[in-house]
Amino acid sequence: MKKYRLVCSVCGKPFERDTEPYVCESCGGLLEPEFDLAANASHYREVIRGGCVSGVWDYRDLLPVEGVEAPVTLSEGNTPLLTASNLGPIVGVEQLFLKNETLNPSGTYKDRFATVALSIEKARNTPAVALGSAGNAANAMAAYSAKAGMPCFVILPPGAVAERGWQVRGYGANLIRMEHTIDDCISMAKQGEALFGWKSLTTNMLTNPLPSDGYKTVGYEIGKQLNFQMPDWIVVPVGGGALMNKIYKGCKDMLELGLIDKIPRFVGAQASGCAPLVDAYQKGLKNPEIWPGVPQTVAFAIADVCVYDGITSMDVLTKSGGCAEEATDEEILEAMHLIASKEAVVAEPASACSVACARKLVAKGVIQPTDSVLCVLSGNGMRDLKLMEQGQKEVPFVKYRDVEAVKAAVNDYLNDSKD
Ligand SMILES: *Cc1c(COP(=O)(O)O)cnc(C)c1O
Ligand SMILES: [Zn+2]
């Protein structure tokens, strides 16, 4: 028997159907699994209190995974929550936390989706899975299908960075490059369901509400790791919106269970070169519009022209009293450097966008210096190291055993560190 039903994430209306699109006819909100928390509150409280042991599957009883007997897992989740005491003063707040999702098996929080998705598809004997993506979701699905022993087909646009494609092939997935945008690759993978019998695993609530639910474990972990004293703000990079929406859902569950006494204010962080959520926030729209033109940003992982789960994202901003903010590539790259040089986390540009936006909101006086802020570092920058070189001065090159030249280089560095 199912322990959950699908309800509208915005108005709460229950749904019996389990077919696409997973959208509420009344208000346009995205549908999501809802467990009857009140019916078994003490058990669910124990599940959340007992988390942060082996990872996402600690929360199995709160995940829509009936029928799964053998999870496909790589010990994803249970990622560190860091107190960023060096970076905090630069951002401008007394308390800055970083949720380090870069340490997931394939390098991003999308593994929390992939573990649920591949576990469900494996149990259903699905012949193959497929994905159109900017690269990170593709790697999550490629990694978990490798573990599951299932064929995986990945369609990447030309703009997806080479390193993401190499990683996909490392996991043994079948890579196809297709012209145009991420969204075109996503719809091709969807069209392939009828042609090839594979399952398209786009990482949004709109098409895959069950695996998207895996993301709410980020919220549960933050709760447990902070002894259920939630920060004032949670800043999340937003592409399609699922990550932010689901961390909010995790908080909502904890509030309903009486584990926490407030829901943080959520900030949707985007890059200026593709910021449909920010645009909707500024114009007061209920549903973000498609971003006109071609996205221009180093934060390719969040450069979705369509905020797929956008009605729910706007609702999360409204209900939590949050906002949306954008950062330029320059600000994002500076944040990427700062996160590495002050807190020793190598985060990819999309993740660094959260810190860049938090910093701007402090400067604007929206976030107060006395507020506590948590930024989600969603993905690993070890695959984007060439970006670390941008804006850096040239590495000194000296002749063999040229002590004078080495002295000059050392002094040069010492002088730099003085300013
Ligand atoms: C996919 C992705 C995001 C955005 O996630 P959505 O759920 O689509 O909003 C943020 N950061 C990284 C590194 C990602 O790969
Ligand atoms: Zn609704």
Q: What digits encode the pLDDT tens for the residues 10-54?
A: 999 999 988 899 999 999 999 999 999 999 999 999 999 999 999
pLDDT in tens, 115-124: 999 999 999 9
Q: 237: which strand partners?
A: 269
Alpha carbon of 213 to ligand 1 centroid (Å): 14
235 lines ligand 1 (CB under 6 A): no
What number of CA atoms fall less than 13 Å from residue 209's CA on the CB side? 25
Alpha carbon of 160 to ligand 1 centroid (Å): 14
Structural domains of the chain sorted by starting position, each given as residue range(s) with its CATH number in brackets: 81-107+211-388 (3.40.50.1100)
Q: Would you state the pLDDT for residue 159?
A: 86
Q: Would you state the pLDDT for residue 17?
A: 84
C-beta of residue 381 within 8 angstroms of C-beta of residue 346? yes
Q: Which of 387, 359, 136 is nearest to 240 (CA)?
A: 136
pLDDT in tens, 391-418: 888 999 999 999 999 999 999 999 988 7
Q: Pick the ligand that lies closest to the CA of residue 351.
A: 1
C-beta of residue 269 within 8 angstroms of C-beta of residue 353? yes
pLDDT at 107 over 90: yes
When the pLDDT of each residue in the chain is averaged and rounded to a whole number, the result is 97
Q: What is the DSSP letter of 96?
A: E
Q: Would you state the pLDDT for residue 332?
A: 98
Which is it for the CA torsion 346, 350, 351, 355, positive or negative?
positive
**Rg, the chain, Cα only:** 21
51 lines ligand 1 (CB under 6 A): no
pLDDT at 390 over 90: no
pLDDT at 252 over 90: yes
pTM over 0.85: yes
Distance CA 187, CA 378 (A): 24
Q: Would you state the pLDDT for residue 419?
A: 67
> What confidence tier does 321 reach under pLDDT thresholds 50, 70, 90?
very high
Q: Which of 214, 226, 224 is nearest to 108 (CA)?
A: 214
Q: Would you state the pLDDT for residue 1?
A: 60
Residue 25 exposed, middle or buried by CB count within 10 Å (0-12, 13-18, 19+): exposed
Crossing angle of helices 41-49 and 242-256, rounded to 10°: 120
Q: Pick the ligand that lies closest to the CA of residue 12.
A: 2
Alpha carbon of 109 to ligand 1 centroid (Å): 8
pLDDT at 2 over 80: no
374 lines ligand 1 (CB under 6 A): no
Q: Pick the ligand that lies closest to the CA of residue 23.
A: 2
Neighbours of 182 (CB within 10 A): 26
pLDDT in tens, 165-192: 999 999 999 999 999 889 899 999 999 9
pLDDT in tens, 360-389: 999 999 999 999 999 999 999 999 999 999
Q: What is the DSSP string of 104-120?
A: STTSBTTHHHHHHHHHH
pLDDT at 320 over 70: yes
Alpha carbon of 377 to ligand 1 centroid (Å): 10
SS3 380: strand
Give, for 342, the enclosing helix (H) or strand (E).
helix 329-343
Neighbours of 92 (CB within 10 A): 18
pLDDT at 243 over 80: yes
Q: Which residue's alpha carbon is nearest to atom 13 within ligand 1?
A: 379
